[in-house]
Amino acid sequence: MLSYIMSFIKILKLNFLILFLALPNNNLKAERPNIMIILTDDMGFSDLGCFGGEIETPNLDRLAANGLRFTEFYNTARCWPTRATMLSGRYSDGLSSSQVIIPELLKGSGYQTAMVGKWHLGMDPKKDGPIQRGFDDFYGTMTGAGSFWDPYTLTRNTEPVDPDGENYYYTDKIGTEAVRQIETFANSEKPFFQYVAFTAAHWPMHAPEKSIQKYMKMYKGGWEKLRNERYQRMLKMGIIDKERWPLPTRESWVQDWDTIDHKPWRIRNQAIYAAMVDHMDQAVGNIINALKRTKQFENTLIIYFHDNGACPEHLSGNGWNTANNILAKAKREGKEVAVGDKYDVMMGGPLTYGSVGHNWANAQNTPMRRYKSNVHNGGACSPAIMHWPKGLKTKPGSITDQRGHVIDMLATCIDLAGSVYPKKFGDNNIDPHESLSLVPILKGKKVNRDHFYLFNHSGTHAVVKGDYKIVREGKRPWSLYNLAENRTETINLATKNPDVVKSLELIWNCLLYTSPSPRDKRQSRMPSSA
């Protein structure tokens, strides 16, 4: 009888074990991290306080103080190619059916997915919007830019919506909607992937007046003074050193502050820019508080970077589609919008549509050369912050010069989520990704990679491999820089090292023009985004 009972108990235990193993794993959140990518728009290398800036960014500064800062983290030098490349893990200026992107992969691995902010990878939310590409929830804009007071193509999931409330300001709303999504995530045991894409500090220069006034006195000395102050602050903070990061001479088209006119108008534009960054940081603070309040902060990897460097663009007339939309709406309502450098109209309000311009952008990019759309480091190198209390193994506040790129986000997410990159997704054959995981760096390891990164935008091209980078602007010859010794690209070594130039040019030509590619043994196409 006793043996019968013991046998029965063993059977019960075995059946219970089988049943337990068959149940869905509801402890995924404890095992795998939440992943949040925060992307900001058209910002300079030294804008944040934790990278030497004077703008108040206490929330991002705290993430940096308790996380890891990258000083050599690359984007594609332009808005939409950065987004496509980041999500797909392939050099791309758009999404196609032959690509499987991060939210699609992670959703298949048991993650909740949500996005808020700028999409810029398709204009029809019902055909090529975030909901069609793996996101469960979306609030934001389909287009690349528009009014912060009345955003063009504002969408919730797949339907157009209007701004809500008299005090609507898009940056603040992005933060509010991100908090809503975080609170929803907390109701599930599944981990989450959230993509927060701010439009700040992309033109038009729009910000609440009170926030603008906060910065009006800060920029009276002009852009060259600001640039020198930022550089000295970066040296003091240990972010850079004089030997490897010499301050380049200012760009030739930057004007002399002492002789330039309309100073009050120019000061205000930079003050608006600072206010826009300030509001973005406040929104990040609200996001962090929501993570803490819902007890999701400790196991959330927060990754912050910019889509490109500071923007030199000047707006004029009806030349921009987003401005055209604003102008058309204003005309219907019997109003007039001041577009571009209208010195008799102070920027910032809903009936203005201006930019900060190249003079201030040169200071915003301190200590880098060039701007957005150019693949020198002023266009293609972004400050990056990674924060993960539970999983980051580096010393809090560390600064690393190890290399990363937005293309590496896909492999990093795959690594953390335990996803499998497919050869086929749905009915479509999938191209191999070109991404490398950054998880070893987060774990405190020194990674020696025999790997290269590619850049191709608006007629400028570059290849980075090992210590060296070649850059070509238009039809000019390749320039060569030793990034280990000269991060700010002030010393051209092409004449002294023609063999290095040839070897990197061979990589460029091979990947752009030949098949098979040395990267994936298939036809490799790195499209121009011009």
User: What CA–CA distance (Å, rounded) separates 485 from 116?
Assistant: 39
Report the first-to-last Cα separation within the chain, whole angstroms: 83
The pLDDT of residue 22 is above 90: no
The whole-model pTM stands at 0.91
How many Cβ atoms sit within 10 Å of the Cβ of residue 174? 28
Query: Residues 367, 250: contact at Cβ < 8 Å?
Result: no
Query: Residues 148, 206: contact at Cβ < 8 Å?
Result: yes
Mean pLDDT of the 412-419 span: 97
Residue appearing with tokens 């203005």? 352
User: Please, which residues bridge with residue 425 across strands?
Assistant: 428
The pLDDT of residue 4 is above 50: no
Contacts of 427 (CB under 8 A, 6+ apart): none
Greatest CA separation found in the chain? 104
The distance from CA 363 to its chain's CA centroid, rounded to whole angstroms, is 20
* 188-202, 232-246, 455-469: the lowest-pLDDT one: 455-469
The pLDDT of residue 113 is above 90: yes
pLDDT in tens, 260-306: 999 999 999 999 999 999 999 999 999 999 999 999 999 999 999 99
Query: Residues 226, 290: contact at Cβ < 8 Å?
Result: no
The closest of 445, 306, 429 to 379, measured between CA atoms, is: 306
Kind of pairing, strands 468-473 and 479-482? Answer: antiparallel
User: Please, which residues bridge with residue 439 across strands?
Assistant: none
Domain range summary for the chain, segments of one domain joined by +: 34-314+355-449
How large is the C-alpha radius of gyration of the chain?
Answer: 24
The closest of 404, 454, 360, 376 to 92, measured between CA atoms, is: 454
pLDDT in tens, 426-443: 999 999 999 999 999 999
Tokens representing 280 are 């973005």
Domain 34-314+355-449 falls in which CATH fold?
Alkaline Phosphatase, subunit A (3.40.720)
Q: Rounded to 5 degrees, what angle do the CA atoms 361, 177, 53 make?
A: 25
3-state secondary structure of 195: strand
In the structure, what pLDDT confidence band is assigned to residue 512 with cuts at 50, 70 and 90?
Answer: low
pLDDT of residue 447: 83
Tokens representing 87 are 């999500």
In the structure, what pLDDT confidence band is assigned to residue 125 with cuts at 50, 70 and 90?
Answer: very high
User: What CA–CA distance (Å, rounded) separates 324 from 77?
Assistant: 25
Query: Residues 207, 49: contact at Cβ < 8 Å?
Result: no
In the structure, what pLDDT confidence band is assigned to residue 450 with cuts at 50, 70 and 90?
Answer: confident
Strands (E) located in 324-388: 338-339, 352-353, 381-387
Residue appearing with tokens 């990363």? 404
N residues, the chain = 530
User: What CA–CA distance (Å, rounded) separates 512 from 510?
Assistant: 6
The distance from CA 248 to its chain's CA centroid, rounded to whole angstroms, is 25
DSSP one-letter code for 167: T
What's the order of all strands across the beta sheet hosting 154-156? 159-160, 154-156, 137-141, 112-118, 192-197, 34-40, 300-306, 381-387, 68-74, 398-405
The distance from CA 442 to its chain's CA centroid, rounded to whole angstroms, is 18
Mean pLDDT of the 179-191 span: 98
